[in-house]
A and B are shown apart, each in its own frame.
Chain A
Amino acid sequence: MKENNIKKEELEFVHDDDFLSVLGKIRLKEDFLAGKIKCLFCGNVITSENLYSFFEDGGVKFSCNKETCIKELEKKQ
């Protein structure tokens, strides 16, 4: 029985080696290094330790790796 053949999902990743240059391109590198970027969901400062993801939501927003924030992030997808 054939049901829907769902196509492949694209997953977009940024590697740590490219992260700072990517931030430079979107003009957020200085803010990140100065600790001025916060998690959209919990307000914690985003660091290289807790960074989980980033996305466009009326400006580039960041999410930390707390379980509750990852869950909130799911709703954005």
Chain B
Amino acid sequence: MEDTNTITIAWGTLKIILPWSGWLLFGLLGALFIYLYHYPEKFDAWLKKIDRFLLKFGRWREKQFILRDIRSRINIASKRINKEAEGLITKGVDVIWVNEKNIESFLRKGKVIIRMQHHENQDKNIVNAATHYVAKGVLHTSKIYLSEELQKALNLALIKKILCEEYDSGTSTDYFFVNVLRPALDANVKLGDIYDIVEKMERKGLFTRILLREIRLMGKKLYPSKPTNREFKETKEFFDFLEPFASHTTGNTIQDWEFVRDDIKVGILLVAQHGKLETEGYEPYIKRINEKINRGAQSIYLFGRKSSNIRAVKEIADQIRAENSKVFDYRVEKYFSFLRNEKLPAICIMLKIEK
């Protein structure tokens, strides 16, 4: 009797659902289409897994797997990096296989062709592809204004950032650590010191959001003028200037920093819950931001960690935008920051100031 009831209920439910199943299917396909349109790189990552599975039965998907693996990893990473600092790197990559039919045209165009090994060496392939991409597609107009060591450290940090996007059981990050990063840092103490600071900046969310973004803006202003000692000095001093901010943990007073030189003009303000925010509200912050604007800062970065400070950062930014007409644009980004190994929600609002 109970079984009959269950069948009746199931049949009744099906009779309701079936007339709508066409629409349901249509809706699901529509949602899938929208997802693929917005996240083609994730679709690539799915197909890569299918290709990897098919490799067990033969090599006919070999090149397709290598292509999809590299393309999806770099494109997922580049999307995230550009979210942190828009326009920092190219919108991902397209991979082209060179063969005997097209080789001459690519050589004529002056292309550098990178060798890809069989998929058993995919870790090496991915590291080589990411290295090539970072050399070719990231900050290429700005790197010339950086010292050799700083260039190398930024490249290594970016390659690591791209490789660390992998969520599967890939081992390319391990390959990079053992065969590229560690030997490079061991062989050059100065490079190791710079790289450690870049890592610290990355953990605090400053690497792409401030350092690379400002270096890129500098390159946009100066390229292709030949770099002189003045630019090398300015980029080095800017890097040194950011170091204490990357090392900063917490405090009860307003923390602010300022770097206004020939080409880089930056102000940074860390909004903390304790101290002035509790007793005096937003006014001390507004005053300091206005002072930085008056002294020539063209980008003001407001940072805050934890929800109460995030709210304060937003409200301070709104107030300064309403009161100071020199603020002509802004960018808000929420992310996670590390404070004494604790992962905290954080916000960075960049105010763009008229020259």
A binds B: yes
Measured CA separation A3–B103 after assembly (Å): 35
Query: In this assembly, does B95 line the interface, its C-beta being within 8 Å of a C-beta of chain A?
Result: yes
Measured CA separation A7–B90 after assembly (Å): 6
Residues of B within 8 A of A7 (CB): 90-91
Measured CA separation A76–B112 after assembly (Å): 8
Partner of B113, one of A3, A5, A9, A53: A53
How many chain A residues touch the partner (CB < 8 A)? 39
Measured CA separation A5–B87 after assembly (Å): 6
CB distance from A37 to the nearest CB of B (A): 13
Measured CA separation A5–B92 after assembly (Å): 11
Q: Which of A1-48 contact B (CB under 8 A)?
A: 1-19, 21-22, 24-26
Q: Are A11 and B129 also in contact (CB < 8 A) when A5-B87, A18-B98 are?
A: yes
Q: Are A18 and B97 also in contact (CB < 8 A) when A1-B330, A1-B352, A11-B129 are?
A: yes
CB distance from A45 to the nearest CB of B (A): 15
Query: In this assembly, does B136 line the interface, its C-beta being within 8 Å of a C-beta of chain A?
Result: yes
Contact B90 A55 (CB under 8 A): no
CB distance from A67 to the nearest CB of B (A): 6
Q: Which of A7, A12, A65, A70 has most chain B Cβ within 10 Å?
A: A12
Measured CA separation A54–B95 after assembly (Å): 16
Residues of B within 8 A of A4 (CB): 87
Give the dominant DSSP class at B's interface. Answer: mixed
Q: Which of A56-74 contact B (CB under 8 A)?
A: 56, 60, 65, 67, 70-71, 73-74
Partner of B87, one of A3, A21, A77: A3
Contact A13 B129 (CB under 8 A): yes
Can you list 23 contacts pairing A with B, beta carbon distance less than 8 Å?
A: A1-B86, A2-B86, A3-B87, A5-B91, A6-B89, A12-B96, A13-B96, A14-B114, A15-B66, A18-B98, A21-B99, A24-B100, A25-B100, A25-B104, A26-B104, A51-B115, A52-B115, A53-B112, A55-B112, A55-B113, A67-B183, A67-B184, A77-B140
Apart from A12-B113, A25-B104: 5 A-B pairs, beta carbons within 8 A: A6-B89, A13-B113, A65-B128, A73-B135, A76-B112
Identify the B interface with A (CB < 8 A). 62-63, 66-67, 70, 86-87, 89-100, 103-104, 106-108, 110-118, 128-129, 131-133, 135-137, 140, 152, 180, 183-184, 329-331, 350, 352
